[in-house]
Structure 1
Amino acid sequence: MENPKHIVQQGYDRLGSRYRAHYENTNPERYIDWLTELTQRLPSKANVLELGCADGIPTARFLSQDFEYLGIDISPVQIELARINVPSAHFEAADMSTLSLPSSSFEGIIALYSLIHVPLVEQVTLINAIYQWLKPNGYFLCVVGADEWTGTEANWIESGTLMYWSQADAAKYQSWFIKTGFTIIDRRFVPEGTNGHTFFFVQKTA
């Protein structure tokens, strides 16, 4: 298989703004519901990191109104769009799994459907890094897999766009979070068509 990270980058680069058009036809309201759960717990002017920010809509646009926001995405094309869409926020094109950030830098970190674009063998290390980047009592909000699966889709969103995913099941993610030191605040199934994902809201309490 081609390098999975190249598949993800090239897929999102190729889709460009058409990814947003697809998103608008799904269920954008639930993103705001999830983000509201986080923002109600964050202090004023909190530092928030999003891993896999895409073009900045709706997450960066929503959060940057009240918080110091940094968005990371592997796709330079999506980052360019994000800077246009949300000029008040900060964005960087980078591989989230190789980021080097200071410990205790953020009150909140978000990864909505993005961890599952990282090869599974790298996800535990990334979850540990997220824990270190959070300040004490900081929060991590994410949507990950419900069932274990790794693979690609040849015509994702539009013909010719290849995309890669790698995910554990919900129980495995919960065990990883707890072993890392997180406390589970909320876990629930997110139905999507005939399958779905898992929403986790956890806190660094150790």
Structure 2
Amino acid sequence: MNNGILTATLAGFGTGMSLIVAIGAQNAFVLRQGARRQAVLAVVGICAASDAVLIALGVAGLGAVVTAWPVALTAVGLAGGGFLLCYGALAARRALRPAGEQALTARGAAVGSVRTAVLTSLALTWLNPHVYLDTVLLLGSVASDRGSLRWVFGLGAMLASLVWFAGLGYGARLLGSVLARPGAWRLLDGVVAATMLVMGGSLLIRTLAS
């Protein structure tokens, strides 16, 4: 691998990582699923694959299409904000009334719905208008500066997404001993609820104000 390809790959990896590491609704959901060991492979796969598609669209130069459809972004913002508020309310309910919540067993056997996890992963990714602005527009613009190496840059960003979500989802298993304690799930659900509600409210406010 020559220096140009290596540099472009590392630049893409660093840029991609900087866009997804921040605490957000998607990351909070992946963390919770990983800690519960519920549909982790499906959730990680959907998040990483969705990012790969969005990154590819950005590198291909479709950022201009995103900015040309402000009405579509507004509709996505309203739907996404409403979804985050609903999910946050459910998480808050679990935190306040944890009777139906079970701590992890020795085998990590907490039964959950794969279908629900898949749909939630898709919604948290594709109903977030900022993903189109950040991943498609911003990352695509940075990639264009790499010229003929823009796809190498994009592959680096895709790799960063895969590494991050896999690390977050499967690394959360290390919290098993902590989450076996009484009240630990209430705290985690409280953090998830706060994240979802704040982001949902902020998204609705920004969308309506724009």
TM category (shorter chain) comes to under 0.3
Q: TM-score, normalised by structure 2?
A: 0.24
The structure whose residues are more often strand, as a share, is 1
The structure whose residues are more often helix, as a share, is 2
Q: TM-score, normalised by structure 1?
A: 0.25
More relative contact order, 1 or 2 (CA 8 Å, 6+ apart): 2
